Structure 1
Amino acid sequence: MNKFRLKAKQFWWLSGISFLMALLLATFAAWLDLWKNFSGLFRSDAGTNWLMLWETFSSWMWPLWALFAALGYVGILLVRLLRR
């Protein structure tokens, strides 16, 4: 049962790295949407719709963070199981 537990240091490293990866990918996705401006949702004559841009960023950020953290945890478990 102990092989499924993360140490505090491993947990924080995994959280931090997965957060940074999600942050970079979500920022890129939001920037790409703003740059391409599909169907005029993000920019118009009135200016930039920052609320829509934030919603786009958020819709990418939080699921990606959960995904990268889960994949990292599974990766750590696989390395532990294969080493034994």
Structure 2
Amino acid sequence: MATVRFLQQGEARNRTLYDLQDRVRIQGWLVPASLMPDDLADLTVQRIGVRDRLTMDLASDLLDDLRDAPQYLERLTAPMPDAGRRSAFHR
């Protein structure tokens, strides 16, 4: 399993993993951001699950979109609105 750090803990920027989730969803990908249990409540993670039939072309497209999304979010001049925001994925 690979781990990529998108936003370091305590780093204040115009982006969150929920923003990344929203940005790649525009491209058609479902990459949910999730809060951890209470003892790690300050940590948000994203996991990508794929089917065994994922082609190299689709995997390449996903990686391209995941690389482009943070660049887009970094160019924002104000934080994304997050009033009442929560993950669209629930148990």
TM-score bucket (shorter structure):
0.3 to 0.5
Output the TM-score relative to the length of structure 1: 0.39
> If each structure's helix is expressed as a fraction of its own residues, which one has the higher value?
1
Which has the higher relative contact order, 1 or 2, with Cα contacts under 8 A spaced 6 or more apart? 1
